[in-house]
Amino acid sequence: MRIKIAGVLMMILYLGLMAGCGDDDSPSDPTGGGQPGIQSGTITATVSGQAKDFSKGSAGVIGGGTAAISGTNQASTENLVLEVAHANGTYDIAAQDGPAITLVHNSAGWFAVSGTVTVTTASSTRLVGTFSGTFNDFQATPLTVVDGVIDVPLAAAP
């Protein structure tokens, strides 16, 4: 579990820097976080009954058989980071080697403690899937995330 959290924190740092490098994701600059050759994808979910869009700068990197994905909302105040096996399948978040998802929501950090991530397409350039689950903050306050959709471009890790 500690390794999974450390990996997620490293992804947040790397992908946060990647997403923060560009000016915007407008049609005149459709790249993922301003990175040349990387188009932004789609990450959406319903968080505690509210539709959320984390697609701004959404993209991912592949390394060591794992895909690390990140996206933020248009105001750059909420962020979602997902680490999952880079292979088709359904993965249990509660499993020790399962996927890790973190969410910055209402200025607090939330970590997925149960649920699933289903990967339907895992190519060298794209990851498509769904996710849902229960997230806890550091006080173990539950937050429900349902109807999560991922469709993001991937690049090899530097």
Comparison of pLDDT for 22 and 51, the residue scoring more: 51
Q: What is the number of structural domains in the chain? A: 1
8 found inside a domain? yes
29 found inside a domain? no
The pLDDT score that the predictor gives to residue 8 is 45
72 found inside a domain? yes
35 found inside a domain? no
Q: What is the pLDDT of residues 111-145, one digit of tens each?
A: 999 999 999 999 999 999 999 999 999 888 999 99
91 found inside a domain? yes
* Mean pLDDT, residues 107-111 taken together: 89
Share of the chain above pLDDT 70, in %: 76
Please, are residues 68 and 11 in contact by the beta-carbon 8 Å criterion?
A: yes
31 found inside a domain? no
* Residues spanned by the domain of 101: 2-19+48-156
Question: Residues 78-89, buried b or exposed e (16+ Cβ, 10 A)?
Answer: bbbbbbbbbeee
9 found inside a domain? yes
CA distance 118 to 52: 19
60 found inside a domain? yes
Give the total residue count for the chain.
Answer: 158
